[in-house]
Amino acid sequence: MSLFTEPFDIADRRAKELLAIAITGYSDKPPLKTMVAGVGIADVDVNWDGAVADVWPRIITVAARRNRLRELVRAFQGDPNYALVLPRIEALLDEAREEEQSETSGRAATRHTMVTVVGRRPFINRSRFRSNVESLFGSDGDRTMIVDGPRKSGRSYSWVLISYVTRMTGGPQASLIDISLFRDARVRPDDVASMIAADLGWAPAGVDETAQDETKGRLLLGWLKRSVRQHGAVCLVFDGLDGGNLANATVEFIGDIAAAAGNDELGDSRVVLLAYGRALQNPNVEPFVLREPPLTDIPLAEFTAYLQTVAAEGGQAMTDLQAQQLARALLGLPMPDPVPMSLLAARATEMSKIVCKLRRGIHG
């Protein structure tokens, strides 16, 4: 919340700055009364006794109570009496605008993380993951998130929701750095830096090819920090970090990128590690890393509840029995409980058709 949207406190740092600005403009009460009346504050609403410096806190307090505080500050902008402090006025308004945009982004993150279908891809449950994504892209969120679990558990599918939320909240678009694309070749730190540069349109990082991988990782981390300062915040999502073709220095380099983000060394950037089953090397960052418990299969009751939720979004009331029948048609008999993620992956096409029909108001 900003100076203009939260409960007003004259002792607040921003209110004190506003008061200091206000006092510089007028020394006589008659023109001051005219200016104040111009922003919708009646003369009788203010106690005008005492010096102008004593009156100003009352004016500001009344303006806040009347929801006219923003209008008062904007009036300062166009008032010649405040020309010398115009940069301070604009800084105050800019700070409020950023705080309000951040608050809006936080609300948007909350709304968008609850999506049930992204494009044509179903996104089922994973309440802890959704909460972590909300925190990651919220106004006061953490900067680093790690998702782990066994193979075929849906770790890579996490990208679907992450990418969607970054698009919908207006932050830096997420970039997927999928290390699994290196199927046979040994992946080095400079390979990872080249993928980042190519995806973001940055100039490639210069690196001494004869240097040890550990040295390359340290130097390339510096390159990344400089690039972020030059180009702005990024959202990097690394996948395939459990492959057997990664040099240990490469995994540590990627972990150090995540730790740098968590340590506020990459500004407003966000870093997500998928399939990363280890702790970060910086112990000071680890307590502030968002982690989802290792992914597991979905209880049948939660799966049928998901179908009912999607149906409700399409304007339908689906009974428990109807949800059971729909699940049976998709999963077959006997219905597994819990539902293996591998089975849902195998039935991805059928699942997509069902949920998209439900969203359109057509029973699956």
Model confidence pLDDT, tens digit, residues 19-62: 999 999 998 999 999 999 998 888 898 999 999 999 999 999 99
Which of 72, 78, 32, 82 lies closest to 55 in space, CA to CA?
Answer: 32
> Crossing angle of helices 86-112/69-77, nearest 10°?
140
Lowest mean pLDDT among 66-75, 190-199, 287-296: 287-296
- Is the pLDDT score of 93 beyond 70? yes
Contact present, 136 and 256 (Cβ < 8 Å): no
Measure the N-to-C terminal CA separation of the chain; round to a whole number of Å.
44
- Is the pLDDT score of 104 beyond 70? no
Q: Give the pTM.
A: 0.68
84: left (phi over 0), alpha (psi -120 to 50) or beta: alpha
Average pLDDT, the chain: 87
Q: Which helix (H) or strand (E) holds 147?
A: strand 144-147
Which of 237, 277, 243 lies closest to 257 in space, CA to CA?
Answer: 237
Residue 122 pairs in a beta bridge with 117
Contact present, 138 and 132 (Cβ < 8 Å): no
Contact present, 23 and 60 (Cβ < 8 Å): no
- Is the pLDDT score of 243 beyond 90? no
Alpha helix positions (H), the chain = 13-23, 29-37, 52-65, 69-77, 86-112, 127-137, 158-169, 189-200, 213-231, 248-262, 300-313, 320-331, 341-346, 348-359
- Phi, psi torsion values for 292, nearest 5 degrees: -95, 140
- Give residue 237's pLDDT: 96
Model confidence pLDDT, tens digit, residues 143-175: 999 988 666 667 788 899 999 888 887 778 899
β 235-239/270-274 pair status: parallel
- Is the pLDDT score of 106 beyond 70? no
- Give residue 208's pLDDT: 83
Cα–Cα distance measured from residue 237 to residue 219, given in angstroms and rounded to the nearest whole number? 21
Contact present, 169 and 106 (Cβ < 8 Å): no
73-93 mean pLDDT: 91
Contact present, 292 and 155 (Cβ < 8 Å): no
| CB atoms closer than 10 angstroms to residue 328 | 13
- Is the pLDDT score of 101 beyond 90? no
Token duo for residue 53: 């410096």
Model confidence pLDDT, tens digit, residues 257-282: 999 999 999 998 999 999 888 889 88
Model confidence pLDDT, tens digit, residues 163-215: 988 888 777 889 999 998 887 778 899 999 999 999 999 998 888 888 898 99
- Give residue 102's pLDDT: 61
Helix (H, G, I), strand (E, B) or coil at 3: coil
